[in-house]
Amino acid sequence: MIEEKGILFILSGPSGVGKGTVRKELFDQATELKYSISMTTRNSRPGETDGVDYFFKSKEEFEELIHQNELLEYAKYVNNYYGTPRTYVEQTLAAGYDVFLEIEVQGALQVKENFPEGVFIFLFPPSLEELKNRIVSRGTESSDLVLNRLKEARKEIEMMDAYDYVVVNDKVEHAVSKVQSIIQSEHLKRERVAKQYKKLLEDEL
Q: Which residues bind ligand ATP (CB under 6 A)?
A: 15-21, 134, 137-138, 169, 171-172
Considering only 82, 115, 120, 122, the residue that binds ligand LQESDW3C (CB under 6 A) is 82
Task: Find residue 166's DSSP bridge partners.
Answer: 122
Residues in contact with ligand LQESDW3C, shown as a per-residue x/- string from 22 to 61 under the rule CB under 6 A: ----------------x---x-------------------
126 assigned binding-site residue = no
* 38 burial level (CB within 10 Å; 0-12, 13-18, 19+): buried
List 23, 57, 62, 84, residue binding ligand LQESDW3C (CB under 6 A): 84
| All residues at 6 or more sequence positions from 11 whose CB lies less than 8 Å from its CB, including other chains | 19, 22, 23, 100, 101, 102, 103, 121, 123, 179
Residue 40 CB, nearest approach to ligand LQESDW3C (Å): 6
82 binding partner (options ligand ATP, ligand LQESDW3C, none; Cβ < 5 to 8 Å by kind): ligand LQESDW3C
> Which listed option, ligand ATP, ligand LQESDW3C, none, makes contact with residue 107 (CB within 5 to 8 Å by class)?
ligand LQESDW3C
CA-to-CA dists, residue 45 to 48, 50, 57, 137, 140, angstroms: 5, 10, 14, 15, 7
Give the CA dihedral 112, 181, 175, 92, nearest 10 degrees. Answer: -50
Q: Which is nearer to ligand LQESDW3C, 113 or 202 (CB)?
A: 113
Q: How far is CA 205 from the centre of its chain?
A: 41
Residue 12 β-bridge partners: 122
Assess 83 for contact with ligand LQESDW3C (CB under 6 A).
yes
Q: Is 13 annotated to bind ligand? A: yes
Closest alpha carbon to 184 in 37, 29, 38, 72: 29
Q: Which of 10, 89, 103, 131 binds ligand LQESDW3C (CB under 6 A)?
A: 103
Strand pairing partners for 66? none
Q: Which span (61-69, 74-82, 180-188, 193-201) binds ligand LQESDW3C, by CB under 6 A?
A: 74-82
Q: How many residues bind ligand LQESDW3C (CB under 6 A)?
A: 15
Q: Which residue ranges are tagged as binding site? A: 13-20
